[in-house]
Each structure stands twice: as C-alpha cells, then as structure tokens.
Structure 1
Amino acid sequence: MLVNADLHIHSCFSMATSKDMLINNIAPKSKEKGLNLVGTGDAFHPGWLNIIEESTEYKGDGVYSKDDCDFILTTEVEGKSRIHHLIFIPTIEIARELSDKLVSKNKNSDGRPRTKMDGAEILEMVKEYDCMIGPAHAFTPWTGMYKSFDSIYDCYDKKPDFIELGLSADTNMADTVSELQDFVFLSNSDAHSPWPHRLGREFNQIEMDDISYSSLKKAIKNKKVTKNYGLYPNLGKYHMTACTKCHKLIDPELAKEDKMKCTCGGKIKKGVDYRINEISSWKEPHHPEHRPDYVHLMPMAEIISTIYDKGVTTKFVQGKWQKLVDAFGPEITILINTPIEEIEKIDLETSKAIEAFRNGTVNVIPGGGGKYGEISFDEKLIPRETESIDNRLTLDNF
C-alpha cells in the first residue's frame, strides 16, 4: 500500500510551537491534508507521552490512532554542537525508558531536548531499542549535521537509517554528494502548527505492507520511498548565503572575505546551496537506481494566499481552501491528481497556479538568511538585493 507520511512535526511542548499542536487537532487536519501516517514529535517529553496515551487508541506494532489518523512515535534531539537528530521509536514504553536514559537538563520543559551526547552516542543508545535515527534537516546552517561535518560517518561513526533533506534542499542537490548514494532521503514538514500550510508541507510517499512500525522500518531499510514531495528548495529560508539582519543575498566567497559580517552589521549565514557545493562530488546529480522522483509543490493555502495577496490564515484564504477540500477531498489529492478543469470550476486562479506547479513554470526569488523565498505564477519578481564580488568591485571603482 502507498502511504503519505509526514514523520517530523512538533507538539505544543516545543519552543515556538502553537498551543494547538495537540493530537485532537493534528489528527483531523492530517486527514484533510491527505496524510495517512504522522510522526508524533517530542516523544521524549513525559507530558506529551501522557497526552498521546490519553488521546489515541493503541493499534499495536507501534501505531497510535485517532479519528482514522495513524501516528508513530518520533522525536528530535539536539545533540553536541547543536546538531539535530530525528528518531523513530517503537512504543511509548521504550520512549519513556530512553527519555530516562537521556542526559538532558530541559527534557521536561521542552519537547526538543538538548544533550551533550554526540551523534555516535545517541545512535548507539537508541539502536539498543530498535529505533531508527538520521540527521534532521541535514544541510541547514544552524542545526544541520553537515554544518559541522564533511561526512555523515564523522558524525555517527556508523551508517544511520536515513537522511532528512530539510526545506532548503531536494534530491537533485543531495545527490551531488557521493556518500549519500545508498541512503534513503526523507522530506518532512517540521511543522510547528496544525495549519494546512504547515502540516504536510513536505511529505513522503512510501510503499508499506501495512501501517505499522515494523513495516515502516522494513520500507526504509529496503528503500521503498516511492516519491518525495516538497517545496522548491530555493524557497527555503536558508537556501542561499545571506545576512540574517537585512536578508541581502551575498556571494559566499565575499562573505568569507568579510568574516561572515554584513556591511549592515548583521551576521551572514552560509546557505544550503553553497554548503552542498563545498561537500559535493559532482556538479550534476547522480541519482541511484532506487532514488524516487522529487515532486515540487506548495501548500494550497500558500498558493491561494499568493494569488489573492491575502494573509494565509485569513478567513478569505481558509474559506477558499475549505471549499476546494469539501469539493474534491484531501489537499494532497487536489495538488497532485484532481483534473485542472475540475478545479477551475471552483477557483479558476487557483487552478492556474496548481497547473503551473505541475508544469514547473513558476518564478522564484530564492530565500536566505532566515527569510523564505518568494514565488509568482504569472510575472517576473523583482530580485532580492545581492552583493557579489563583481558588483562590489564596480562600486569601489566608481
């Protein structure tokens, strides 16, 4: 069976996360989105585990269900050097035991616990309990594994189970790194709220025997991810090298010359695009035989918001979103499969934008420095200010 899975979200117990991130809200929103399997997030937090137990029915083999939405236990741990690790856990009992073993001062106050353990130590600990582990958003400059290591094996010593790409990278980028040829790539939302433009904004289509922990483990081991779905990577807020204060895009070589300090006084953050270039083996991607297509899409509420220039959480945008979902079913089905001529009967402009995504004819200004990229469906956008070696020389010589 084909399963749409978003395996990295957070609960209401994580910092900067909506108080509405509760099972009773996540389950119905996941169903409207079109997700079949969702990671609980924050499964080392005792309070969140209590809520999961109270709010779901245990179906066996690691699956906890609420209103036709199935969950498996997942957590993100911040280890040594602020590197984030994504972990899948078989049962609540194991989650509690691992939480007790994890040396962390904030595990009872924050859904994403921090520890001084390094990647190899965390891997060894969780593998004793049949867990799966891999780097979360592996390339991002603040907390991604590759910010500190040139090789994944330097971080974990052994091969982890998967790589999570993150919002600022996709398969074409990651498959320029030769050591990743044998890895399964996952694309997840890292959602901090149950809004439809957050939950499932990136997800995986996985061939599974059934919905269970053991089936998910088997599918990842046997490389049965059949498609990755997610944003254009240049929409990610850390895709390009840019200033975190003024958000100006800056030539990476110039940034290094200036010791990662912008002329405005802000700090320059190295972009995912450049970091992958530093560790890549090839200029063009080398896709292994098992690698599925990466399909670029955008949450439907974001599409409607962009077209009509209205806030994504406004009644106007959410009303149009709901009308389409009521007419055609889950959002994922609409974005991928619903005939364009059917969508245009409900909303002509939205149908044109969805068609543009399917055809790959969208215009993007890349994101960087903590600012998301921008998108247009019918006209060129005004580019963000960019500072390069060439234009600095021109200004200096003026």
Structure 2
Amino acid sequence: MFHDYYTDLHIHIGRTMSGRAVKITGSKTLTLSRILEMASAKKGLDIIGIIDCHSPEVLAEMTMMIQRGELEELTEGGLRFQETTLIPGSEIEIYDSNCQGPIHVLAYFPTIEVMADFSNWMKGFMKNIHLSSQRIYCDGRVLQQKVRELGGLFIPAHVFTPFKSLFGRGVHNSLTEVFDPQLIDAIELGLSSDTSMVKNIREIQQYTFVTNSDAHSLVKIAREYQKLRLKAANFNELKMALHEQEGRAVVANYGLNPLLGKYHQTVCAKCGEQLNDEDTICKSCGSSQIVKGVASRIIELSDPDSAERERPPYIHQVPLDFIPGLGPKMMDRLIRAFGTEMAILHRITTEQLAEIVPLKIAKMIDLARTGQLNIAVGGGGVYGKVQPE
C-alpha cells in the first residue's frame, strides 16, 4: 500500500560531536543528533538526506548511534531514527579543466559501509575529506561512474543558482558538457526557481525534479521539500520514486515562491540595486560587478518550442519562520498543540490554528501554505521578504 512521505534531501552538518567544523558556514548547533531530533520531532519529515556523511567524524557518530541503538540500519537502505529515515549523502564540488567549475553535486548511498567506501575513494582526489562541499580533482563523469558503481544516486545540486552550479555561472549551456546524462538520477532546482520556470529547458525534462532546503541551520530544515508516494521510507523506495518506477513518484514539490529566492533577480554585487537584464553598469553606484538572476539565466537556456512534460504540482509554500509576527514562543505553542510543522502545513485547519494563535496569524499561516502571501523580490544573495498584510 502506498503512503505519502515528506522528504528534504539536502541538509548540512555544521559541527561534529567534538565541535569540529564540517560546513564552515553552517550553524554550530547544526549537529547530527540535533538534525535528527528536529526532523523527526518538530519538522515531521519522513526522510532526510544529510549531505556531509562522507566526513570521517560524521561516519563515526552514525556508527556510534547504531551501537547505542539510536539508529537502525534498514535492509532496504537508510538509517531509521524515531519517525525519520536518514539517507547518507555527500555534497561535492567539481572543478577540473573540462567542466570549468565550481559545480556542486549530490551523491547518496544506502548504507554507512558504502558511504565509508566512497569517502575513502574521494580522499585520493580531495585535500580535506573532513569538510563539506569540498573540491574534488577528478572528471565529473569519473565521479558519476564511481557513484553508480557503488549503487548510489547522483543529482546535480541547485542547478541555476550563481557561482557554484551547473547552469548558474553562465559557462555551460548543456549538462552533456560536464556529465553523462545516463548517470543522473534527478535534478535539484534550487531556491530561486520552480517547475514552471524551467518547463522549456529541453534536456532536463527527462529527469525528476527535487526541491530541498540546503539547510545551514536547524530552522531552515524543510523550507523546501517534496511529497513522495512510496510503500516505505527507505533508500530503495526513494530510488524508485526518482525514476517513477512501479507507482513510486514525487507527487508534489513544496518550495519558496522563486521571488523569495536570494538569487532570483539580477542585481549589482556591490550595492544590491536591482537591475534590468541588459544593464552592464549599475545606475546607482557605477559598479560593473553584476550578478545575473536565476530568472534571466533560465530564459537564456529555454527553448519556447520544446514540449512540456506533465509534472506534479509545485506549491509555493512560505516557511513558517518567514511569517511576520510568528515568533519562537508562538511557534512552540503550535508544535505543542499539533505535533509537527508538517501537520500544521498539511493537516490542521485555519479554525484549529486560531484556537492556539491570534486569528490574524492563523490566516497568514493558511496563506503561507497555499502561496498567497505578498512577496518582496530577492536577489544578489539576499532573500526576498514576506510583506505584512
């Protein structure tokens, strides 16, 4: 029997149990144990991908949690913690003479043992295996082949964002310039784009789209996620869903309105002034340092004559922490009353919410979960904002 499973596959680790940095820009509170507790008890996620599991201290922590009975290795792949399945993953930065990177990619594996094998292999191509998103000095196709050899999943990450993505830097106009298209399992869209924006980019239409948080702090977990139709929460079922096999599938994507994404609009890198696509000089400060917005880059890559593929709905859901007036104390009251954020976003009525928080906030939550809040556009590394009614 199929069930719905809420899934965020891109969560970083800020520090290990010993305090060692993994994702240097990540929060110090973003530890393995706290991520698992947050995802299960507060967020209500059924499956999470932690993409720094290649780090030796993270591998050691997961092993220790298994030995203590806090994590259970699943026969079908993945690690069970309370109500949540952890899929071990790794984010890697490709940069070589062929791809002209940096380009970030994601790899996922069914077990700690296989992740450890992958980590040991990467040591031969990487300067610091302990850190997140580190540069690997090998060809992108070589990396893909190793992931496939180990039975893993390979997903290009946030493919349209500037600086560190496949398409966002403006260097590559085809994924075949870097990757073997047969060894890609899905495409991660990123926070400044959605399904409708990329519907005319021909070569990515063969892939399932995923939407993930890229969380650098606990509160950002599940700011973007997807609903999967599976028979169970494990690695094998996830793999089948990404390839739409035997009824498994992504049935809905939940993400920020692209206007909220911090790279949506073209802006001046120096002063942050929003610019038109044809601008080469900032009219405000005179700088020529311009960051092209995701929306503009997608238009460059699009072919208006390409055939659209039928996709699951992409719901412009605003995370609860974006809502003006909904502070930590009020959020705690909602969690105590209704259990998890997924329950608040998907199962609780506006009337039920109004029994716990002011009616104005209850109505804003309802607008947030259906993508109807007023938005101020983001760009140049600054998120857009929800505007009070």
| Shorter-chain TM-score tier | 0.7 to 0.9
Superimposed CA distance per residue, residues 43-76 of structure 1 (whole angstroms, 9 cap, x where no aligned partner): 2211111111212232333221223321011111
Q: How does 1:17-28 map to 2 (within 5 A)?
A: 17-28=26-37
Describe the shift of the 1:335–1:116 C-alpha distance in structure 2 as closer, same or farther (beyond 3 A). same
Task: Confirm or deny that 1:15 pairs with 2:24.
Answer: yes
**Identity over aligned pairs, percent:** 33
- DSSP-derived class of the 2:318 partner: coil
Structure 2 residue 273 is matched with structure 1 residue 248: yes
Aligned position for 1:297: 317
Partner AA of 2:32 in structure 1: I
- Cα distance change on mapping 1:340 and 1:125 into 2, 3 Å: same
- In structure 2, relative to structure 1, the CA distance for the partners of 1:282 and 1:262 (3 Å cut) is farther
Q: Which residue of 1 aligns with 2:206?
A: 182
Counterparts in 2 of 1:184-203, with a 5 A limit?
A: 184-195=208-219, 198-203=220-225
| Cα displacement (A) at 1:287 | 4.3
Alignment of structure 1 residues 1-398 onto 2, 5 Å: 1-12=3-14, 13-31=22-40, 32-55=42-65, 56-80=71-95, 81-102=101-122, 103-146=124-167, 147=169, 148-159=171-182, 160-195=184-219, 198-222=220-244, 224-255=249-280, 258=281, 263-265=285-287, 267-282=289-304, 287-289=308-310, 291-303=311-323, 306-307=324-325, 317-347=327-357, 348-358=359-369, 360-378=371-389
> Scaled by the length of structure 1, what TM-score is found?
0.86
Further displaced range: 221-230 or 71-80: 221-230
| Residues 1:53 and 1:264: Cα distance change in structure 2 (over 3 Å) | farther
Matched residue SS, 2:228? strand
Tell me the SS of whatever aligns to 1:74: strand
| Aligned counterparts of 2:151 and 2:206: Cα–Cα separation in 1 | 21
Q: Counterparts of 2:263 and 2:28 in 1: how far apart (Å)?
A: 26
**Unpaired stretches in structure 1, ≥5 consecutive residues:** 309-316, 379-398
Residues of 1 paired with 2:196 and 2:54: CA distance? 33
Q: How many equivalent pairs are there?
A: 361
- Asked if the contact 2:250–2:312 (Cα under 8 Å) also holds between the matched residues in 1, the reply is yes
Between the aligned partners of 1:286 and 1:234, the Cα distance in structure 2 is: 25
Give, as a single letter, the amino acid of the residue that structure 2 aligns with 1:167: L
CA displacement 1:276-298 (0-9 Å, x = unmatched): 00000129x96423x10001112
- Quickly say closer, same or farther: Cα 1:207–1:276, change in 2 above 3 A: same
Structure-1 separation of matches of 2:155 and 2:319: 26
What secondary structure, in the 3-state scheme, does the structure 2 residue paired with 1:144 have?
coil
* 8 A Cα contact 2:76 2:235, kept in partner: yes
Question: Residues of 2 paired with 1:24 and 1:264: CA distance?
Answer: 48
Q: One-letter code of the match for 2:92?
A: V
Larger helix proportion, structure 1 or 2? Answer: 1
The residue type equivalent to 2:360 in the other structure is E
CA 1:2/1:361 → structure 2, altered by over 3 Å: closer, same or farther?
closer
Take 1:167 and 1:108, find their aligned partners in 2: how far apart are those partners?
27
State the distance in 2 between where 1:39 and 1:107 align.
21
- Aligned-pair RMSD on alpha carbons? 2.0
User: Cα 1:7–1:361, aligned 2, differ >3 Å: closer, same or farther?
Assistant: closer
Match of 1:389 in 2: none
